[in-house]
Amino acid sequence: MSDELTSELSAELRELAAAGETPPSLSGAEIRGRAVRRRRHRRTAGAVVGASAAAALALVVALNLGGGTADRHPSPAGSPTGTPSIPATADATVNLSRRTVTVGGRELPVSSGTVETPTATGRMTVTAKVSTKMMPSDDVVAPGYDLKVSWFIELLSSDGRTNYIAALSYDEKAPGAYDRTSGWIGLRMSDAEWLYGQLAVGSVVDIEGTAPTAPTATPDLSTSSDALPAGGEATPAATAP
């Protein structure tokens, strides 16, 4: 008799004893047959359970692959984790303390506002460009004459302040040496032309530092021919009749 069958018979007898029943007067063959039938029943039940589990697993896999018709709820969107955009890198940086403007690794000398009319600092954006522009002399250096300014680049800050960069043609010795404008940024004619080609509308210009405080002289445009812009002209400012 196999160990499995012996175990089945022992379990049968223990169950009967635990229930307080008297073992039936069955022959050994009948007891063995009963045990065999019970073992087959258990195997059949196990096979059915296994098949049901396999079918359930197949259904779950099919639904996960999109083959089922059950409602599928999308996962909640994750919280944005991107870093806010940083300010644009300046295309040009004017250093008033050193009297320079740096663009693309090239450094050019500049002249800025006098002690009486200092140049404002901060970040500004190019809003317009004009190769020549007639400016009231009050906006350039001294009252009394309108001046034609070359390579004019208009600047605007986020708080509405305006300024400009242009050729300081009436005194090309000033850039890099001393300050003599009414607050705008002046360059030598050739440098102003080069810078004009480098900056486009929308370019960012940072103006930083503090200009030296030594007083500077104001040219007399009415008597000095050297005070006129190269190739330009000075005309008396319009006056009311």
Domain extents in the chain? 3-63, 92-214
Structure tokens at 183: 């607050």
The CA angle 200-205-207, to the nearest 5 degrees, is 155
Contact indicator for 92, 104 with CB cutoff of 8 Å: no
CATH entry, 92-214, from 1.10.3720.10, 2.40.440.10, 3.40.50.300, 3.30.300.30? 2.40.440.10
- Per-position pLDDT tens, the chain of length 241: 556 656 666 676 676 666 555 555 556 666 666 666 666 666 655 555 566 666 666 665 555 665 444 445 555 454 455 444 545 789 999 999 999 999 999 999 999 999 889 999 999 999 999 999 998 766 665 555 678 899 999 999 999 999 999 999 889 999 999 999 989 999 999 999 999 999 999 999 999 998 877 644 444 444 333 434 433 444 444 443 3
What is the Cα–Cα distance from 170 to 212, expressed in whole angstroms?
A: 21
pLDDT tens-digit series, residues 76-108: 454 455 444 545 789 999 999 999 999 999 999
Which residues fall within 8 angstroms of residue 191, CB to CB, at 6 or more apart? 108, 109, 175
Please give the single-letter amino acid code of residue 57: L
Q: Among 144, 178, 182, which residue's Cα sits nearest to residue 162?
A: 182
Angle (CA) 22 28 31, round 5°: 65
Total number of residues shown for the chain? 241
> 0.75 exceeded by the pTM?
no
Of residues 162, 137, 166, 154, the one with CA closest to residue 227 = 137
What tokens does 188 get? 């030598």
The H-or-E segment that residue 238 falls in is: none
Alpha-carbon gap, residue 150 to 47, rounded angstroms: 96
Q: What is the pLDDT of residue 164?
A: 96
pLDDT for 109 equals 97
* Helix (H) / strand (E) containing 115: none
Task: Say if residues 87 and 163 touch (Cβ distance below 8 Å).
Answer: no
b/e map 10-33, b = 16+ CB within 10 Å: eeeeeeeeeeeeeeeeeeeeebbe
Q: What is the pLDDT of residue 187?
A: 98
